[in-house]
Amino acid sequence: MDWIWTLCVGFLVPFVVLLHYRRQRAGSSASRLPPGPRGWPVFGNMFELGPMPHKTIAGLSREHGPVVWLRIGSIDTMVVQTAAAAADLFKNHDASFVERTITEVMRAHGFDRAAVSLSPPGPYWRAMKRMMTAEMLVQKRIGESEAVRRRCVGDMVEWIGREAGKGNAVRASRTCDGGGVHVARFVFLASFNMLANLMLSQDLVSPDAEEGSEFFAAMIELMSCSGQPNIVDLFPCLRWLDPQGLRRKIDRGMGKTLKIVAGFVEKRIREKKSNPNSKKDFLEVLLEYRGNGEDESDQISDHQLHIIIMEVFLAGSETTSSTIEWAMVELLSHPEAMAAARSELARVVGEGKRFEEAHIDDLPYLQAVMKETLRLHPPIPFLVPRRAVREVNFMGYQIPKNTQLFVNAWAIGRDPQRWEEAAAFKPERFLGSGRDYKGQNFELIPFGAGRRICAGIPLAHRMLHLVLGNLLHEFEWGVDEVGRKAMMDERERMGVTVRKLVPLMATPRRCSA
């Protein structure tokens, strides 16, 4: 937190009196706000959140209850922390919190106005949501691309097999005593290629290249920049200064990325003209939709189309790899669960046979493992923050307009009122329970709920199970002493998603055919 303190001292002192007035403006209405810890003048509670704020804020419920009020810098924030409070929110007040909180880096090149997950409610958002849920991310369209995912996951298995072979050769020569495979790296590469083929019908990366393709490198830079905390988001009055230079950096990086995406689109248009019967990918759906709407609100500009493509990569690749990494950590930490999952795969898929998407419905324990992983480790712990579009009475509290809303999915997944032994990894709790993560069971909402629920759940469901199922079916996994220390390190890194600070390094051994 040293960088925050330095910036505060250097840039915020002249604004102390002005911003302190904001603390006093509420008057008698302050008593009707949710309870929460008292913060510092001007800075509010920003110094109390720590490196893992979802965990810190979850702990506040013991003293303040299911709804907590914070002031993070100059931003009034309400945090919903239990399943009951989440149910009230999404059932009765969803429309009052339908807009997103927009950070400064999200504004670059109008990303926040064009991205489906961020754009304000209105004709454009409704048209794009309808297009994605009815044209792109429906079961039929996803099913048509099954062969693409099968090939990309097959490549991942071969990459890991080669990497494991290198490790075995090194150990045989006695030049080292351990090591392992960086699991999340290979999953990330495979996820990126799956999305690349779904969107653009081509591979973009390979583990043999240090930086990957130009587009891959540009997207990694954007993810890194987007995940950095920005003092401007806490004190918007500093926006004109851009003290950390993040807005300038993201403007350059996003501009470069958009040019690359524009090249992909132009190439696809030329290919379609020369071969009208070529296979249909998601880009083809977008190109057909562009300009075919009944009015201007239904039409996609070139710029909006390019941003939607970027959004798919940003939303899909990082979340998949972080979730699979946590699943492997939990399974390696609970050998009985690992054995149960692998036994089910052997029985349903068969020894020496390749795991296919058609097997997913016949693997209730594998599905339970994924649900339990997402319960304990939602990739975005606060979901994508929302904003109150009007003053609203919520659970007896008077919430002012423009209040930022955090839904603490991490805390909700560990709500002791809804989960027995809430902190324990027990996939068996889902067997026969009917609970899922599609937005109707508010105790399990890693993808959100309500109007702004993630449109990509059907695709994520297939990708997550396909990747994890293949990892478990194709390899036996273990960890050496170094890997076990990394596995037991519970520290997390906040970014686009929350993932392990110390990556999982596990040792695979190829199962015999």
Annotated binding site for heme: 454
Mapped onto helix, strand or coil, the DSSP state of residue 404 is strand
What b/e string do you get for 307-334 counting C-beta neighbours within 10 Å, with b at 16 or more? bbbbbbbbbbbbbbbbbbbbbbbbbbeb
- CA distances, 453 to each of 50, 253, 449 (Å): 28, 28, 4
Annotated binding site: 454
Alpha carbon 405 to its chain centroid, in Å, reads 17
DSSP states along 52-63: -HHHHHHHTHHH
From residue 416, give the alpha-carbon distance in Å to each of 90, 92, 327, 407, 410: 20, 23, 22, 17, 12
C-alpha–C-alpha distance, residues 416 and 23, integer Å? 34
Residues 314, 72: Cα–Cα separation, whole Å: 26
Helices 364-376, 335-348: crossing angle, 10 deg rounding: 140
**Rounded distance, CA 318 to CA 140, Å?**
25
Q: Give how far Cα 443 sits from Cα of 82, 120, 200, 378, 464, Å.
A: 8, 26, 36, 12, 20
Integer Cα distance of 262 and 302 in angstroms:
8
Q: Which residues pair with 397 in a beta bridge?
A: 394
Partners of 444 in beta bridges:
none
C-alpha 415/C-alpha 418 separation (Å) is: 6
Q: Are 50 and 42 in contact, with CB atoms under 8 Å apart?
A: no
C-alpha to C-alpha distance for 367 and 359, rounded to whole angstroms: 11
Q: Which of 239, 235, 242, 246 is nearest to 43 (CA)?
A: 235
Residues in the chain: 513
d(CA 70, CA 24): 15
For every residue of 27-40, DSSP letters joined together read GGGGGGSPP----B
Give, as one character, the DSSP assignment of residue 8: I
Strands 392-394 and 475-478, how do they pair? unpaired
